[in-house]
Structure 1
Amino acid sequence: MSLHWFPGHMHKALKEIKESLNQVDILIEVLDARIPYSSENPEIARIRGDKPCLKVLNKFDLADPDITAQWQAHLESERGVTTLTTSNGNPANSKQIIQLIRSACAQKAASVKSINAMITGIPNVGKSTLINILAERTIAKTGNEPAITKSQQRINLGSGIVLYDTPGVLWPKIENPNSIYRLAASGAVKNTAMEYDDVGFYAADYLIKAYPQLMKERFKLEELPDTELAFLEAAAKKRGALMSGGRVNLHKICEVLLNELQSGKLGRISLETPAMVAEEKIEMAEAAAKKIADKARRKQKFKDGSLTPEKQDRKEKRTEKREAQSKRMKQGR
């Protein structure tokens, strides 16, 4: 599956982020607690340099708490990074962000100058809701539709903090193919940018392996099938996702599965762990090295294969002739 969704306003937003970065004291990156790695913009990590960064793991109430704790430890091992878990149902926890900003920028907090904080995040991660909680008034438009915020704005939060709000930004090329599926499964991209069946099969395969008991209970199955297709067929029969003649409507059951995953009806689920991502990075590096080696072999094969034995013989004779001529010229000097 490939993801084709990088609207013009996202390209503009990324450019504005880069241009505004030198005015910023701290970055706040809002991540989806279910997919901290896949929702972490590599462009932000590349351009932030040594600036302190607060990574907010939002939608914590939808994620597996044990795995979230693993992610916090993993993320905080990076220099200058602090983490905080939040959810829309716990606004009090979100307000800790103000204190964390002041602590990270203690030197500037002690001066008369304002602390400039920039908040970023992928579409539909809950950034706008978080801003409204921090500002204690409706500043940013919210909704379940990805990419609500379209332009950068500055918000005075009081307490000597000015917040630079940025539109939700995806990046043009997502290297890890698993991240594409996880972003789609979590609802980070519009439905028009994904195939429900494709993403549904990916989600089903992961869920029956990582959360078998939850899937068994949610879909009232006596036995949990060991393949994603068998699971979807069994779940479709339980939910009445059938077509004429009793045939299974795979598109419909995939839609049901993804909607219930995104709403939390399946339970508290995380779609990736630090250990999984570490293995995937190794696989990606090996695949990239193989691609380079294969390209070099194809290039060499093309060069070698373009010469017939007769042409190869003539080439060798021409080389010998040029070498002999060169030798004579040196001797004649």
Structure 2
Amino acid sequence: MSIQWFPGHMHLTRKAIGQRIKDIDVVIELLDARLPASSANPLLAELTEGRPTLKVLNKQDLADPGRTPAWLDWFNARAGTRAIALDASDSAPARRLIEGCRQLAPNRRGMSRPMRVLIVGVPNVGKSTLINTLSAKRQAKTGDEAGITKQEQRIVLEDDFYLWDTPGMLWPRIVVPQSGERLAASGAVGRNAYDEEEVAMALLDYLKQHYAPLLQARYKLELAAPEIAALPDDELLARIARKRGAVMSGGRLNLQKAAEITLTDFRSASLGRVTLETPEEYARWLAAAQQQEAERAERKAEQRKRDERRARKAAE
């Protein structure tokens, strides 16, 4: 399943970041702690020109607490990068962002050298909620739909600390299929860009392998965890439909409704605290995707050569 979503306003955001970054000291990239690598924008490194970056694993209260430390270690091992985890609705840890930025750019202090920070992230990752928490008032619109913020906003957090918020942005081509599935499951992708049943089944495919007891408890499945893990994804979705009353006239199952229920339960953490990837898993997915991309580029190059040969023959 290939999921892509890069609407027009994201092109404008990319241009705006390219202009703004010239005057920025530190970049805060807000990530979803349930899908840390999949929610990290690979376009950002190009746009931010190697600026120091604070990676913030947001929504840590929804993520598997046993997996978050491994992700923090993974990001902290990178040069010019610090990583912290927080829940954006909690005002105390949110203030750690300011200190984290000051550590990355210690010379930016005082009115003569104010700290200038750009905050970026994929849609619906919680940037607006975090900014409202940091500034102690509702300066940014919030919502559960991807793409709420549509233009850049400047917020003063301290006399010498300026924060620029940008609209949520993905990247033009998501090459890791698993990342596209996870971004859609989290609500970072517009609803018209994916099939909810397919995304729900991809989500269930992972959950049944790693969090079967949570599925068992949430949907009152009368199966042992190993039996749940062995179910085909469509059968598991059908069982959820029956348990949650997603049944139409004539006893037909409403799998669309069951998919919506499943995705809502994941997004709200009604299923429990889960993280949909480990550093090791993501490394495997990325390596496979890069191999496929290399093969795709090779096929295109061969096709271009064949086209050129045919064109030369036709011209002779």
State the TM-score, normalizing by the size of structure 2: 0.90
Post-superposition CA distance 1:185-227 (Å, at most 9, x none): 0111232322111111111111111211111111111212522
Q: Which residue of 1 aligns with 2:255?
A: 250
Matches within 5 A, 1:1-333: 1-109=1-109, 112-223=112-223, 224=228, 225-295=230-300
Counterpart residue identity of residue 149, structure 1: T
User: Secondary structure at the residue paired with 1:106?
Assistant: coil
Post-superposition offset of 1:250: 1.3
- For residues 14 and 242 of structure 1, the distance between their equivalents in structure 2, rounded to whole angstroms, comes to 44
TM-fit CA distance, 1:240: 1.2
More helix by share: 1
Amino acid at match of 2:284: E
Q: Which sits farther off after the overlay, 17-26 or 46-55?
A: 46-55
Q: 1:227 to 1:157 in 2, by over 3 A?
A: same
Residue-by-residue CA offset, 1:245-269 (whole Å, 9 max, x unaligned): 2222211111110110011000001
Q: Deviations over 1:287-318 (max 9, x none)?
A: 2233344456667788999xxxxxxxxxxxxx
Q: In the aligned structure 1, how far is the partner of 2:306 from the partner of 2:11? A: 40
- 8 Å contact kept, 2:27–2:119: yes
SS of the residue corresponding to residue 54 of structure 2 reads strand
Distance 1:143 1:24 in 2: 27
Aligned mates of 1:22, 1:300 — CA distance in 2: 41
Q: Structure 2 vs 1, CA of residues 213 and 23 (structure 1 numbering), >3 Å: closer, same or farther?
A: same
Q: 1:292 to 1:140 in 2, by over 3 A?
A: closer
Q: Distance in 2 between matches of 1:46 and 1:74?
A: 20
Alpha carbons of structure 1 residues 290 and 192: separation in structure 2 relative to 1, 3 Å: closer
**One-letter amino acid of the counterpart of residue 160, structure 2:** G
Residue ranges of structure 2 left out of the alignment (5+ in a row): 311-316
In 1: Cα distance, 2:271 partner to 2:205 partner:
15
Tell me the matched-pair count.
Answer: 307
Report the 3-state secondary structure (helix = DSSP H, G, I; strand = E; otherwise coil) of the residue aligned with 2:295. Answer: helix
1:48 Cα deviation after fit: 2.3
In angstroms, what is the RMSD of aligned CA positions?
Answer: 2.2
Structure 2: how far apart are the matches of 1:104 and 1:278?
A: 27
Separation in 2 of the partners of 1:111 and 1:304?
64
CA distance in 2, matches of 1:149, 1:294: 40
Q: Rate the CA distance shift 1:140–1:295 in 2: closer, same or farther, 3 A.
A: closer
CA distance in 1 between partners of 2:24 and 2:37 (Å): 24
Matched-pair identity in %: 41
**Unaligned stretches of 5+ in structure 1?**
306-333
The structure with the larger Rg is 1
Q: Distance in 2 between matches of 1:27 and 1:274?
A: 22
Distance 1:244 1:265, change over 3 A: same
Deviation larger for 243-252 or 199-208: 243-252
User: What SS does the corresponding residue of 1:6 show, helix, strand or coil?
Assistant: coil
Residues 304 and 101 from structure 1, CA distance in 2 versus in 1: closer, same or farther, beyond 3 angstroms?
closer
C-alpha separation between the residues in 2 aligned to 1:148 and 1:299?
42
Compute the TM-score of the two structures, normalised by the length of structure 1. 0.86
Q: Does the CA-based 8 Å contact 2:4-2:174 persist in structure 1? A: no
